Chain A
Amino acid sequence: MSKNNSEYLISRNNKQYEVVIGLEVHAQVLSESKLFSTSATKFGAEPNTQVSLVDAAFPGMLPVINEFCIKQAIKTGIGLNAKINKRSIFDRKNYFYADLPQGYQISQFKDPIVGEGKVVLDMPNGQKEIGIERLHLEQDAGKSIHDLDPKNTFVDLNRSGVALMEIVSKPDLRSPDEVNAYIKKLRSIMRYLGTCDGNMQEGSLRADVNVSVRKKGSKDFGTRCEIKNVNSIKFMQMAIEYEANRQVDLIEDGQVIDQETRLFDTKKNETRSMRSKEDAHDYRYFPDPDLLPLEVSDDFIENLKSEIPELPDEKKKRFIEKFKLSPYEANILVSDIETSNYFENVIKKSDVKLATNWIIGELFAALNEKNLEITESPISAGNLSKLINLIKDGTISGKIAKTVFEQMMEGDKDPQKIVEEKGLKQESDPKALEALIDKVIDDNRDKATEYKSGKLKLFGFFVGQVMKVSGGKANPQLVNEILKKKL
């Protein structure tokens, strides 16, 4: 395998293969109730406690569209720079399974609510555009639980009927890294919009991954395999890597690739065949006669457009232009709506450059160590901003600030108070510093002589001694100046 800066290629016998990837991302719509019923959608509730008669498909029960979910899907479409279809149709996808109470899933087949769009990825070697084929709404199924009883399967219908957006990309992705960036970008956009919480642990975001390979330079697509229901970015990357290599091996061995559905075994780190194309279900899609075609007006869409917040791409641009951040810094700060909100709150009253460094450096490291999200940060934006001002106006040194910061992490304390209580204020009185410096020189006569005779490296030693004696509070700049005179 070779990884030069820009290309992910698989080499075999002096031939290079390119990997072609398309994703079908299933994103759970952030909504308190389900797509066609009023049941709650909270994660982790007791089994079968969020199930209405509609969700359990009782005789004579009918679906009624949840308007909020429609708005969420359209907003997401706008966020993906996509065409919003004013007329869309809900279809029935028919198949039997114990956790599919209706015997069909209500989905959108021929006429999805959102058409073609695109997202832009920031890759190390520049930007890359990934096409979106479509976004459609569908119901989730329930959950079959096979490991609670040796003979029986249990069914939990809490998820049954929960609204999902299936976001289908064009086969534009070419490497596991791009997949990583793509998922993160989608997640970021949807979190900005408040249309999906993107929580992969809770299954709010998962994907079917289509993988094929072709000789580098070839324009034709190879036969693809679909890896079903992968629920973390890491597993997606591992699955792609395994699957692409498997396909290359087959081709090199003179075999053909069967179009099939595969699953990724996370324990063995391999993909395995689930069913071949011949065994594929015939879902017998047809328009759901219980639901009329969904029609939305221009006004409806325009109103939603006016509710769209500034999205990561625009925000990044603004941060770079207005705050003179580097693209690298801006990328980090806009990747998550909560981070960018925090950043903007801090810089309301403090220096942008210092704030950027402190958030990306100290704060992220400290949060990471404690395994906390920015929303759970013990240090509020207001107090971080105060700390930065204390540094800026010379009340404390950068070094002391780190001590104060550590204490702030223990609980959201006002840095001003910490400085006062612990007497950490920087010593900037030249007379006091002179006295201190005189004493240090006096205590280290021999070193002072050496310095004067040309051993200039010893200057650092004296600075260190002064800082030590002052308990770190001496203003380093003044110490430098005075020392130079005195020595």
Chain B
Amino acid sequence: MSDITKQSLSELVKNIKNKKLSSKEVTKAFIDRSEKSKELNTYITENYSIALDSAKKFDEKPNLDLKLPGIPMAVKDLFCTKNVRTTAGSKILNNFIPTYESTVTQNIWNEGAILIGKLNCDEFAMGSSNETSFFGNVQNPIDKNLVPGGSSGGSASALAAQLTPITIGTDTGGSIRQPASFTGTVGLKPTYGSCSRYGIVAFASSLDQAGPMAQNVKDCALLQEVISSYDDKDSTSIDFKRNEYSKELTNNIKGKKIGIPKEYRVEGMPKEIEELWKKGIEYAKDCGAEIIDISLPHTSYALPTYYIVAPAEASSNLARYDGVKYGFRAKGENLIDMYEKTRSEGFGNEVQRRIMIGTYVLSSGYYDAYYLKAQKVRKLIKNDFDEVYKKIDAILTPSTPSSAFKIGEKKDDPVSMYLNDIFTVPVNLAGLPGISIPAGHDSKGYPLGLQIIGKAFDEQNILNIAYAIEQKINFKNKITDWWIK
């Protein structure tokens, strides 16, 4: 079969279960295409030969009861993978090989999937365009020199370019949903506490959440079902009843109440996004959903709140990268000198900027005015959602205020870069699930996404709504394989 890499996860699983395809054929097909796609710079570390061995072993004794039988898969390089280098996109972890496996990736391997490589991302997941990676920019397969979004830029690009049938990312302020939107793919940020953070390089502990990325909603649901688990190694993991999301997936959303928040109509939002949103509302109505205008009054404070809370936690989380125990170490005259040189040379500009912001907002004399205030506002933002969820089941918004931009376009303007997360950040602050699905194209032919935000632990509901709208939209990604010579 020549078009193996064009198949969705569900098709691949079916073909492997029916013995129409072997794991080795599938694995080789994705590796071959990955080999031809080096220009996209999606991989930081390739695991091809081990993956092929694993595929061969799987075929010798295939366990076809598994959910991801012999399915090859590349993952964001923020997940620690046993014996496979894990860099978090940073020079400071350039040589770091974990002796342990993250819970989320372990859950994936337990269901039969095979690791083919580690995918590029913004350094420590800090960025919205994958331009902060120590390992260089990632190309969006949609167009040359277009950013794939970030921080899970490598994941989104590899998925859209069909170098991996599914993937996982992490989302602290939009890092799954924004790149999914920029690449015409589906990305889910689960409820905080749904997926274990154990073994994921931490950015901002109270916001970080791993999630699935896929070609379509059904695949996304299946992967969410695999990665979500209660884990006693993560004290913030929550023990709630997890659905078999893919099995319980339905496009019947009749009578569901979907809220449209007026505060998301931001000034200067491109007409195309406005149009897309309207289209999404129409589709939801067509599916039998009830549309309700709502207000989330504290929305405008979400971005500043996020850019206090996240850097504060990051400044502390990244203190462990000091050159003492593992990772990069610069030579120094003494301990302090070693620290300064290691961290100056080991961290890139954006990471340093956020460490400085975070250190500042936690400093004595500023703590109350910034960090404490931000925590209070965060509570208000959460209350906004709690209030509207008394009357509605989900919220529909655009995923991003614009389509993908050119590499370098916003690099020197951090604030304009931060504005990219304006629709996604409130969801992280409130700990809610949110999914981005591709919903159309702008005039340049770049994909645009719609976001559906759910109640906590109600992934099934937003997956169902996404599934219903997906069928109405019938989105096709326009990918020309321009990078393959």
Contacts and interface: CB of A to CB of B under 8 A. Distances in A.
Interface of A: 53, 56-65, 92, 94, 96-98, 101-104, 153, 155, 282, 284-286, 288-292
Nearest to B362: A284
B432 to A, nearest CB: 17
**8 tightest CB-CB pairs across the interface, nearest first?**
A103-B319, A289-B205, A284-B362, A289-B206, A60-B199, A57-B320, A59-B201, A60-B80
Contacts of A60: 79-80, 98, 102, 197-202
B86 A59 contact: yes
- Centre residue among B198, B362, B371 by max chain A CB count within 10 A: B362
Interface in B350-365: 359, 362-364
A56 B96 CA distance: 14
Contact of B339 (A96, A104, A285): A96
Nearest to A64: B235
Contacts of B200: 60
A94 B232 CA distance: 26
A285 B372 CA distance: 11
Interface of B: 79-80, 86, 88, 93, 96, 98-100, 102, 197-202, 204-206, 232-236, 312-313, 315-316, 318-320, 322, 324-326, 335-336, 339, 359, 362-364, 367, 371
Contact of A286 (B96, B232, B234, B312): B312
Nearest to B232: A64
Contacts of A62: 197-198, 233-235
Given A101-B325, A104-B319, A289-B313, 14 more contacts: A57-B320, A58-B100, A59-B96, A59-B201, A60-B80, A103-B316, A103-B320, A153-B335, A282-B364, A285-B367, A286-B316, A286-B362, A286-B367, A289-B206
A284 B88 contact: no
Given A57-B325, A58-B326, A284 B320 contact: no
Nearest to B199: A60
Nearest to B96: A59
Contacts of A282: 363-364
Contacts of A94: 315-316, 319, 362
Given A57-B325, A60-B200, A286-B367, A102 B320 contact: yes
B199 A290 contact: no
Contact of B325 (A56, A92, A289): A56
A59 B322 contact: no
Contacts of A92: 316
B227 to A, nearest CB: 15
A292 B234 CA distance: 10
6 contacts: A62-B197, A62-B234, A284-B362, A285-B362, A286-B367, A290-B236
Contact of A64 (B99, B206, B233, B371): B233
Contacts of A291: 235-236
Contacts of A53: 99-100
Contacts of B316: 92, 94, 103-104, 284, 286
Nearest to B103: A60
- Centre residue among B86, B88, B93, B205 by max chain A CB count within 10 A: B205
B334 to A, nearest CB: 10
A84 B359 CA distance: 33
A320 B354 CA distance: 65
B364 A63 contact: no
Contacts of B359: 284
A139 B365 CA distance: 26
- Centre residue among B198, B233, B319, B326 by max chain A CB count within 10 A: B319
Contacts of B86: 59
B102 A292 contact: no
A59 B320 CA distance: 8
A201 B232 CA distance: 36
A58 B322 CA distance: 12
A98 B324 contact: yes
A342 to B, nearest CB: 43
Contacts of B335: 97-98, 153
Given A60-B198, A60-B200, A284-B364, A155 B93 contact: no
B52 to A, nearest CB: 27
A60 B371 CA distance: 24
Contacts of B201: 59-60
A200 B371 CA distance: 40
B123 to A, nearest CB: 13
Given A94-B319, A101-B325, A282-B364, A292 B236 contact: yes
A60 B18 CA distance: 38
Contact of A292 (B232, B235, B363): B235
A317 to B, nearest CB: 43
A142 to B, nearest CB: 10
Contact of B202 (A56, A59, A98, A155): A59
A155 B318 CA distance: 20
Given A59-B96, A290-B235, A101 B205 contact: no
Given A58-B98, A60-B199, A290 B205 contact: yes
Contacts of A97: 335
Contact of B98 (A59, A104, A284): A59
A72 B371 CA distance: 32
B231 to A, nearest CB: 9
Contacts of A103: 316, 318-320, 322
A59 B101 CA distance: 11
Contacts of A101: 320, 324-325
Nearest to B79: A60
Nearest to A294: B235
Nearest to B78: A60
Nearest to A65: B235
Nearest to A56: B325
Contacts of A289: 204-206, 236, 313
A239 to B, nearest CB: 27
Nearest to A99: B324
A314 to B, nearest CB: 38
Contacts of B100: 53, 58
A61 B326 CA distance: 14
Contacts of A56: 325
